[in-house]
Every structure is written in structure tokens, then in C-alpha cells.
Amino acid sequence: MIFDVIIIGAGAAGLMAATRASELGAKVLILEKRAAPGTKLLITGNGRCNLTNNSLDNRSFALKFGKKGSFLLSGLSKFSPAETIDFFFRQGLKTKVEDGGRVFPLSNSSREVLDILISAIKKNGGVFNFSSAVKKIVYQDNKVKELVTIDGKSFSAKNYIITTGGKSYSATGSTGDAYDWLKTAGHNIVEPMPSLTPFIFQDKLIKSLEGLSLKSVKLSMLAGNKKIASEEGAIIFTDNGLSGPAALNLSRHYPRDNENISVVIDFLPQINERELENIFNGKNNFLIKNVLAEFVPMRFTLAILDLCHLEKNLTVNQVARQDRNNLIKYLKAFSLDKPELADFTKAMLTKGGVELKEIDNRTMKSKIISNLLVAGEVLDLDGPTGGYNLQLAWTTGYLAGENSVI
């Protein structure tokens, strides 16, 4: 069978590209290295599938991706969060909106999302080839000539779309294969790094608090005395570091030159130091652990008192001013030095990828290879948690699918 479009990778971006291209009448083949499609899509949002985020206008949405987010503006004008919700609604998917504009299927089932995409593709004649890993891409005269799979089969089409993802969650098939293919074509690849991943620290406090979660803290990343970024939200202490939304989002800002980096935790961002001092002054005869436990869990309170070498049954007026100042410092600016990022096996996303200036943001077409398009996580573009990165996949996949046909 002769195909109009071949798509490499049956993740979110690839499935949306196939849906759009087949909808427009193209004969579409999707090559997927695993035995089934959408492996990573199924685990997004802890299996609930955070489809998108509808809390912002398009420009504000794009800014969530940082300076490079402007790359998305053209695509969002064609396929925004509103179009995403409408697309799935027309396929029979009911959605709900949770805190922060996060959109989920009403069923809380990522399987329902995947089934809708597969059904739409097959209805329009799209063909899946599973357990079909691409070994190499053959180029000729600035075009893709053919694809060769590891079992020696070759496939050719008018146009090709790469949607293989990055390197995060390699068990789902995202192993960074496309980077070498694209380098061979002449594309530049920004070195991939783990993103939306936990931090690792060598600090005794961390281990003692394993499993403890705090709902509202402020994390700041510093290079020397210069603040790089900050995030507010929930954290959870792991056996060797920090995870949770605030920590994961802060990891996006981890610099490639990571010397002299520290993460500073404000455990009580809703209270400034003077207010905290006044609270202590107003409760001189209260046990200090009970005063603190009004704001943070008792387990955490006891750990901080131990860190300050304070007895747990002291009343506030029994704590010397210097010790009280030290306690406030720990609560408002606890510094953890030399953070490391957990590797790609723990990362939700990849930072880095194909240089954006080499891709036409209106079409997702390569500016180097005339019949090649690129979409999804393989691009050098990453956003925070909350549905932003799936919307990146839907938007760029939609554009790639549409422009592989017209």
C-alpha cells in the first residue's frame, strides 16, 4: 500500500497528527516501536489524563513555556485548549475542570482518551504497525526517501512526521531515537535534560521526613545569591529528595551550568518573619511545638526543633531569642545545597530537543528536509505540570497532521 503520510511514534502528538491527516483524506501509516499505542498517554495525570489547561488566554498559555513559548502562538490560534476540549467532546468525551484550570475526562480514564483517538484514526482508514521500530531514515536531495525498520522492512510516503517523544519514561518507548535521525538530516539538537523530575539532596533532614507532604510551600532556586526561579505549591519528601508539583516545576529551571546552585524552602510563605515572631510573642506560655503545629505537621515540627537543637517540650518563652531567630530562619529560608536532578527514569518530561528555529511554527515542517514534519516532546519546548505539555502535543500534532496533507 502506498501512503501519503507516515508517522513515527503513536504517542499523543502522533495520534493527533494521524487523526487530523486521515480526517483530511490522507492514507496514513503509524509506525510504533511498542506492541500498543499511547503507552505514555495512559499514565499521564496518574492515569486520569490531564488533557489540557483552560485557565488562560493563548498568549498567557504560551508564556507558561518561558521565552520559547512564543513558538506556540500560531499553533494555538488553530488548535487551542478550547479546540482540544471541543474535539474530544465531539467524539463523545465529557470533561471536567479542576483546580488551576486542569481539564480531565469526567471518567478519570486516560484509556477513554486513547480509545477515542484510535477509533478516529481507524474510522478514516489509518493503519497501525506495532512492534515496528525504525532503524534509520534515508535522506536524498533534502528529502526523506524511505524509512527502514529494525527487521529490514522499508516504507515510503510523500510526507513523514516524527513524534517519538523525548527521553523521559524510557519504559514507554521514549528513548530519544529521533535525535540521531534529525542530526543526520542536519538539524541541531539542544542537549536533552530531565525535566519535571524530583530533586536529589544529600541532607539528613530529607531522609528523616520521607513520605511527608506539605500543601503550600515556596521553593526558590539560586545560583550563588541570584534567584533563578521560584515555584509555590505542594511538595513531598522522598527517601533522598523532594518531589510534588512545586519541586517538579522548579526542576524545569535547573541550569545546564549547575555550579553553586541551591534550593531554598520557605515552609510558611503565607506568613512573613515579623508575623511569625509576633505569633511567638503572643503565646509565651504555649509549647513551641504546638504553636508550630498550627501551621505545619507535627512530624515536621519535631524535625525542625531537633535540627535547631531545641527540646520538644519547651514553651515559647523558654526559647532564647537567638534560638528563636534560628528557628524562624529554618522555617522561612531553609537552604539545600548542590541539588541534583533525578534521571530520565523519574522525569515526566524532556527539556531540550530539536532547535525551534529550524521548524516552521505555522506548519511544523522542517526547514531543512522538505517532506519532514516534527511535533510533540521531541521539540525543544517544555512546560509546567497542569495539562500544558499534553496541549503542546495536541497543538503541534494537529498542525503537523494538517500540513502533511495540504
**Residues 251-270: pLDDT tens digits?**
999 998 878 899 999 999 99
Residue 399 three-state SS: helix
State the average pLDDT for the chain.
94
| Buried residues in 122-150 as b, exposed as e (16+ CB within 10 A) | eebebbbeeebbbeebebeeeebeebebe
The strand pairing partners of 166, in sequence order, are none
pLDDT of residue 406 exceeding 80, the answer is: no
User: What is the C-alpha separation between 85 and 96, in angstroms, rounded?
Assistant: 10
Domain ranges (residues) in the chain: 3-194+344-403, 199-341
User: What is the C-alpha separation between 28 and 19, in angstroms, rounded?
Assistant: 9
Edge-to-edge strands of the sheet including 213-223? 334-337, 261-266, 213-223, 226-237, 241-243, 199-200, 340-341
Match 530520565 to its residue by C-alpha cell.
344
In sequence order, the 6+-apart residues with CB closer than 8 A to the CB of 180 are: none
Segment 199-228 shows an average pLDDT of: 90
Q: What is the pLDDT of residue 294?
A: 86
C-alpha cell at 382: 517544555
Helices (H), 124-235: 177-185, 204-208
* Top-confidence residue, 395 or 225: 395
Q: What is the pLDDT of residue 92?
A: 95
What does CATH list as the number for 3-194+344-403? 3.50.50.60
pLDDT of residue 323 exceeding 80, the answer is: yes
Cβ(4)–Cβ(157) under 8 Å? yes
Cβ(138)–Cβ(145) under 8 Å? yes
The whole model's pTM is what?
0.92
pLDDT of residue 172 exceeding 80, the answer is: no
Q: What is the pLDDT of residue 275?
A: 87
pLDDT of residue 5 exceeding 90, the answer is: yes
Q: Which amino acid is at 30?
A: I
pLDDT range class, residue 206, cuts 50, 70, 90? confident
For residue 191, how far is the Cα from the chain centroid?
17
pLDDT range class, residue 121, cuts 50, 70, 90? very high
Segment 154-177 shows an average pLDDT of: 89
Q: What is the pLDDT of residue 326?
A: 87
Segment 330-343 shows an average pLDDT of: 92
Segment 324-332 shows an average pLDDT of: 88
Question: Phi and psi (nearest 5°) for 45?
Answer: 60, 35
The DSSP letter of residue 287 is B
pLDDT of residue 160 exceeding 80, the answer is: yes
Q: What is the pLDDT of residue 174?
A: 76
For residue 323, how far is the Cα from the chain centroid?
41
Q: What is the pLDDT of residue 281?
A: 81
The strand pairing partners of 199, in sequence order, are 242, 341
Question: Phi and psi (nearest 5°) for 36?
Answer: -155, 155
| Buried residues in 273-297 as b, exposed as e (16+ CB within 10 A) | eeebeebbeebeebebbebbeebbe
Domain 199-341 in this protein, CATH class: mainly alpha
Q: What is the pLDDT of residue 192?
A: 96
Q: What is the pLDDT of residue 284?
A: 81
Q: What is the pLDDT of residue 283?
A: 83
What is the longest distance spanned by two Cα atoms in the chain?
Answer: 84
pLDDT range class, residue 280, cuts 50, 70, 90? confident
Q: What is the pLDDT of residue 171?
A: 72
Segment 206-224 shows an average pLDDT of: 92
* Top-confidence residue, 295 or 70: 70
pLDDT of residue 282 exceeding 80, the answer is: no
Q: What is the pLDDT of residue 162?
A: 98
User: What is the C-alpha separation between 367 and 219, in angstroms, rounded?
Assistant: 39
Q: What is the pLDDT of residue 223?
A: 93
pLDDT of residue 208 exceeding 90, the answer is: no
pLDDT 10s digits, 37-79? 999 999 998 999 999 999 899 999 999 999 999 999 999 999 9
Q: What is the pLDDT of residue 72?
A: 98
pLDDT of residue 18 exceeding 80, the answer is: yes
